[in-house]
Amino acid sequence: MSLSLEFKTKLLEKEDELHLRALFSSLDERTAEYYGRFDNLINNAKEIARKIINDRYEIGVLMTINGMPIGYAHLYLSQKESRKHSAGFGMVIAPRFQGMGLGKKLIKEIFSLARYWNIKKIWLHVYDFNERAFKLYKKTGFKKVGTFYKEEFKLGKYRDIIVMEKLV
């Protein structure tokens, strides 16, 4: 289902620290688990938001509706000169705004940003159980390039992590 919600996106800047923190604090456990980027994201929202804001290798995009932060996506640049064209990627949409087409919109912003930064390749990790994210990534042109089997112990089981990439 796709609704036309009045969203805005902006590049993450120092002044957005509280917005990012508010977004992470507003997630539910399931969303934080599926996002999978940090342990205890909800409880450590303050420290994690600060770390991201001060990380010069991270290019972030914040999505808001009526000034309220509802999504975040990032490209993570390599510190190696020879890998500058390749960036890691991840995203999260706040629980009550999932499944409305906003993730797809946010990912398109990331693709334009990647082109602007001369990034040629975006790669990501997604859990084997994250059907929604996997579908979204396939739809937006990512290809599965491999699997890390039993890479993480999560939700009571060893989980596989799927690796995907897209040339932009």
Ligand X SMILES: CC(C)(COP(=O)(O)OP(=O)(O)OC[C@H]1O[C@@H](n2cnc3c(N)ncnc32)[C@H](O)[C@@H]1OP(=O)(O)O)[C@@H](O)C(=O)NCCC(=O)NCCS
Least distance between ligand X and beta carbon 1 (Å): 7
Query: What string of DSSP letters covers 43-84?
Result: TTHHHHHHHHHT-TTEEEEEEEETTEEEEEEEEE--SSGGGT
Q: Does 108 bind ligand X (CB under 6 A)?
A: no
Other beta carbons within 10 Å of 167: 12
Tokens for 110?
Answer: 């990331």
Smallest distance, ligand X to C-beta of residue 129, A: 10
CB-CB neighbours of 135 under 10 Å: 10
In the complex, what is the shortest distance from the CB of residue 99 to ligand X, in angstroms, rounded to a whole number?
Answer: 4
Q: How far is the CB of 37 from ligand X (least distance, A)?
A: 8
2 lies in the site for ligand X, by CB under 6 A: yes
Please name every residue paired with 58 in a beta bridge, in sequence order, or none if there are none.
76
Give residues 18-77 in contact with ligand X (rule: CB under 6 A). 31, 34-36
Q: With CB under 6 A as the contact rule, which of the stretches 5-13, 43-51, 60-68, 100-108 interacts with ligand X?
A: 100-108
Kindly list the distances between the CA atom of residue 15 and the CA atoms of 10, 11, 53, in Å, as whole numbers in the listed order: 12, 11, 9
Residue closer to ligand X by CB (options 52, 82) is 52
Considering only CA atoms, which of 47, 56, 54, 122 is closest in space to residue 91? 122
Is the CB of 2 or the CB of 40 nearer to ligand X?
2
Binding site for ligand X (CB under 6 A): 2, 31, 34-36, 90-93, 98-104, 124, 126, 130-133, 135-136, 139
